[in-house]
Every structure is written in C-alpha cells, then in structure tokens.
Amino acid sequence: MGQNDGKRTDRKIGLIVGRDRNWSDAFINVVNKAENGVTAELAQLSGTIMDEACPYDVIVDRVSHEIPYYRACLHHAALHGSYIINNPFAWSADSKFFGIGLVNRLGFTSPRTIVLPNKHVEKEMGPDSFRNLVYPMDWQGIIDYVGVPAIFKNINSGGRDAVYRVGSVDDLIQRYDESGTMTMLLQQIVESDTHIHCFVFGHKTVLPLRYLVAENRYSAAILPTDDGLGRQLSHQALTLSRAYGYDVNMVEFVVVGDQLYIINATNPAPEMTQELMTLEQFEFCVNEVARIAISRVKRPLSQRSIFTG
C-alpha cells in the first residue's frame, strides 16, 4: 500500500476483516447500495511495496490486532494518505492496562487491576536482562490487592481471548505458568448481574446494550440514553472513545447500584454478529460504520498520531 493518486475519480473503501463474514458482506452491501460514488470491497494484500499506490481512501480494519502484517500495511497506508478506521497508531499503543489507568485519571471507576511480568519472552535472554525485576513475586500480596475470585486476561486491546477466572494463589500461578509470552492482567471481579456494553460510533453515537452473560448474547432491548444511567454511560463511553480518537469502539461496564465500573475501556474491533445481536441491533451497527466510512471519504479528516493534538 502506498500513496493515493490525487487524480483518481473513483472513491473506495477497503475492508480488512477476519471471521465475521456476515458483517463484512452486510457492510459492503450497504456501502455499494448507497450509489453515492463510493464503493467498498475486501482489501487485497500480498506483500506491500514501499510507495506503492493505495487504491483506498478509507480502510476499515477489523482484524489487524490478530495479524501483524495487516497492522504494518495500515501504518504504511495511513502515512500515505488513507484514513484508517480505527487509527492504527493509537491501536498499536493501546492496551487494557493503559485503558484502566486512563479511566482512573479521567475520574471514572475501574476494578483493581495489576499487570504482571511476562512468564516468557520471545528472545533468548540472559539473567542480566531481568535485573529490574523483583523475584520471586509476592503472589499473596497480588491476590490480597486484587481479591478473589479474579479475572486473568491478556493485556492486548481488541478481542476477548485468553480470559480465565482464578480463585486462589495456586490458580493464579498455574495460569501464569501457562501464559507463555503473553502479557497478562489480574483484575478484580465486580459481582453484578448488570453488564452493559456501549458501542460508540463516530465520536457521537452510543448504542448501550445489556450483555446477558449466561446466554452469551445481548438483550433485545436497547437501553435508553436519556435517563440518569444512560447519560452516565454515554458520557463515559464517549469521553474514552474521543480520548483515543477511535471512530468505532466498545466500552464494557458493570453496574452495582448507582456505581459504574469500567472493566474494559476500549475494544476497537468489537464483535457485531447476528449470533450476539438482534437483527435490528446488527443492522444499526453495520449502517453506523458504513455511514462513518462514507463520510470520511466525502469529507477527509487528518488522522492524528496517538494522544497528540
């Protein structure tokens, strides 16, 4: 991917996507049916040459957090003028631990969270490389701070992989020993039956849905945004999404009484599938992302580097 040709008259949106075929097909169909001079297609990638022309004005990224080559292509495309949804520089620097820190700095509330040293690293390293690490770790102190049961999860933003429940020091050590080269968090579990996921689109639209943990899907009812709880959810979700500059984001909340806890500040590629959502919810999400992508083609914006300007 490389620089856009300023003489082009066709306007294209490229989609980089993984397993969510229904979503990608629906997105491409919505964009192409709009008949406004903008078309969408699956982006085609096969070795990226320096300064190669990029055919896409906007690229919607749904999977580069899983495939490093795609992320490298997106950095290059952004450098040469393509607008990326979501900003690949912000996403590369994002992590669940940073997000929790930002939550607290903004005056919102998060569960107690600690990031742990890697069990293994990808390179062969000698003992001198780890002189900064205190060893052995105070496992009991870690458990005492976070509390049990707790969630042990991957630090990377995007997706919900490598998530485990631990109930003791022995559980934690076993999961830690199995974590390989992943960087892991231990996070307090806030016990509640009310889990709410707020999908944020274009820095202004919020879709709050109650997540039914036992059923692994969303409630059919769309929560209101004009009551006290809805306004709090919208304000916090929008504030976080705007801080990152994400055009699409999902913020996860747990509600206990009147208190909101943010357990994940960002998910730049949230699942939006018909298995999780009603058809109305699914179509709303598809249409919102299509609307944003088309608007970024029609009214190009500069894409800032992470947390500057």
Q: What is the pLDDT of residues 25-84, one digit of tens each?
A: 999 999 999 988 999 999 998 888 887 878 899 999 999 999 999 999 999 999 888 999
Q: Which architecture, in CATH terms, is 191-267?
A: 2-Layer Sandwich (3.30)
CATH 3.30.365.10 fits 11-92, yes or no: no
Cα 15 to Cα 2, 25, 251, 271, 277, distances in angstroms: 16, 10, 23, 15, 21
Question: Is pLDDT of 97 > 60?
Answer: yes
Question: Is pLDDT of 2 > 60?
Answer: no
Q: Can the peptide bond before residue 86 be classed as cis, meaning omega within 30 degrees of 0?
A: yes
Domain ranges of the chain: 11-92, 112-188, 191-267
pTM to 2 decimal places: 0.91
Q: Which architecture, in CATH terms, is 112-188?
A: 2-Layer Sandwich (3.30)
Q: How far apart are CA 228 and CA 249, in angstroms?
A: 22
